[in-house]
Amino acid sequence: MTSTPEEVKKCKKAVLFCLSEDKKNIILEEGKEILVGDVGQTVDVPYTTFVKMLPDKDCRYALYDDLVFIFWAPESAPLKSKMIYASSRMPSRKTNCYEEIKDRRTLAEKLGGSAVISLEGKPL
């Protein structure tokens, strides 16, 4: 299935996640995202903009370019916050293994197109 240019522009290039106020759920952080359509328009350098979105004094999870999951825990974040985020990271990784997020061929295309003939030892 092919996406239209308008659908592609609405895809997320980068997104930040935080814990809900009660610290029981991982939620999308309001207003902390870069859309593919923003690149070249309101966002010149996506990675630089992404880094500037990360908080100086608290932890976050981030997804960058569909392939990179980031656990952000700056030195200045409170110890309790670091512990909560670190312990929440593993269940989210188990729940969201890459096979559930993208099919293997799509992931291989993002990693290198036709040059990728196997992924984690399994042929495509």
Q: Where are the domains of the chain?
A: 5-97
Which structure tokens are listed for 75? 């030195």
Domain 5-97 class in CATH:
alpha beta
User: Measured between alpha carbons, how far is 29 from 24 in angstroms, rounded to an integer?
Assistant: 14
Structure confidence at residue 62 (pLDDT): 92
Q: Does residue 21 contact residue 34 with C-beta atoms inside 8 Å? A: no
Is the pTM value of this prediction over 0.85?
no
Helix boundaries (H) for 25-122: 46-53, 79-95, 98-101, 104-112
Structure confidence at residue 29 (pLDDT): 94
pLDDT tens track, the chain, 124 positions:
567 888 878 888 899 999 999 988 889 999 999 998 999 999 999 999 999 999 999 999 998 887 788 899 999 999 999 999 988 865 555 545 544 445 556 656 665 566 656 655 666 6
